[in-house]
Chain A
Amino acid sequence: MDLGLDVTERDGWAVLSVTGEVDVYTAPKFRERLIELVSEGKYEIVVDLEGVDFLDSTGLGVLVGGLKRLRSHDGDLVLVCTQSRILKVFEITGLTKVFSIHDSVDAAVTVSP
């Protein structure tokens, strides 16, 4: 099982596209990549979850940690997700109210940070 983490730039945002399964095994790699981006001065990050097959609470923890880190730099972390099985995890935990969740990268980057 491998986790894909590809970064592209889009209208001033760093877009981190995640593919594969995010769990206790792969979450550390995901966390490290986010921390790297922040240390490179990327404070507006879109995390694209469209290629994620599975995400559990360890993945949510990485995203919450990333958002907290970016907010401390007056930045933001927004999500792209349309898959109902992934959205459900955010809904159950109430995190749909914490994250800004969009249907596409296009929609995400048009929101002002």
Chain B
Amino acid sequence: MPGEAVELEIPARAEFVALARLAVSAMAAADGELADERVDDLKLAVSEACTNAIEAHSAIHTDERVVVRCWVDESGLEVRISDRGTGFDPSRLPDHPPVTDPARLKFERGLGIPLIRALVDVVEFSSSGQGTEVRMVMRHGDNGSADRSSSNN
């Protein structure tokens, strides 16, 4: 992790997700290289990843903290969100019915990871039985492109 990285450990509780968003948007503001709209996209992705992390801790009743690390290098702004939950397989998320299907309304959850994938330039999920790390990058001078990948360890 580069020297100027910011590391934030948040209690795994819902009220702290806003703090993670605030920290990342402050880093983006200090960097000054991302357009406002891209900072909004990153905040949303951070919110989704932190929500999943907190729910992963809640599911196993652990009071361990969720770790948010963030740094800037010449290529862009990187955020890593780590939890100590039981992990998941990002390639095996259930598909939602098409939006035109009335059955779509049965799905109130499960939109977080598709949102993250759509919002950030690079996303990688490293997940095992010991926890999950979500790595997200917003590239400088990029208006949003593909190269979104997933990996499992």
Chain A residues with CB under 8 Å of chain B are: 1, 21, 23-25, 54, 56-58, 60-62, 64-65, 67-68, 71, 84-85, 88-89, 92-95, 97-98
- Inter-chain CA distance A98–B54, complex, in Å, is 28
Query: Is B70 among interface residues, defined by CB-CB distance under 8 A?
Result: no
Q: A23 contacts B109, CB within 8 Å?
A: no
- Inter-chain CA distance A64–B51, complex, in Å, is 18
- Inter-chain CA distance A95–B14, complex, in Å, is 24
Q: A98 contacts B37, CB within 8 Å?
A: no
Interface of B is mostly: helix
Query: Is B7 among interface residues, defined by CB-CB distance under 8 A?
Result: no
Query: Is B90 among interface residues, defined by CB-CB distance under 8 A?
Result: no
Interface of A is mostly: helix
- Inter-chain CA distance A89–B114, complex, in Å, is 11
Assuming the contacts A61-B108, A97-B99, asked whether A25 and B17 have C-beta atoms less than 8 A apart, the reply is yes
Interface string of B16-28 (1 = CB under 8 A from A): 0110010000000
Interface centre among B44, B104, B106 (most CB of A within 10 A): B44
**What are 5 A-to-B residue pairs whose CB atoms are below 8 Å?**
A23-B18, A25-B15, A57-B51, A58-B51, A92-B118
Q: A98 contacts B104, CB within 8 Å?
A: yes
Query: Is B64 among interface residues, defined by CB-CB distance under 8 A?
Result: no
| Contacting residues, chain A, for B41 (C-beta < 8 A) | 88
Q: A54 contacts B21, CB within 8 Å?
A: yes
Nearest CB of chain B from residue A93's CB, rounded to whole Å: 5
Query: Is B40 among interface residues, defined by CB-CB distance under 8 A?
Result: yes
| Contacting residues, chain B, for A56 (C-beta < 8 A) | 44, 47-48, 51, 112, 115
Contact of A94 among B99, B105, B119 (CB under 8 A): B99
A-B contact sample (19 more), CB < 8 A, given A24-B14, A24-B55, A65-B108: A23-B14, A23-B18, A25-B14, A54-B43, A54-B47, A56-B48, A57-B109, A57-B112, A61-B111, A85-B37, A88-B41, A89-B44, A89-B115, A92-B114, A92-B119, A94-B99, A95-B99, A98-B99, A98-B105
| Contacting residues, chain B, for A58 (C-beta < 8 A) | 51
Contact of B18 among A25, A61, A97 (CB under 8 A): A25
Q: A24 contacts B111, CB within 8 Å?
A: no
The 9 A-B residue pairs with the shortest CB-CB distance, nearest first, are A61-B108, A25-B14, A57-B111, A94-B99, A68-B105, A97-B99, A56-B47, A24-B51, A24-B14
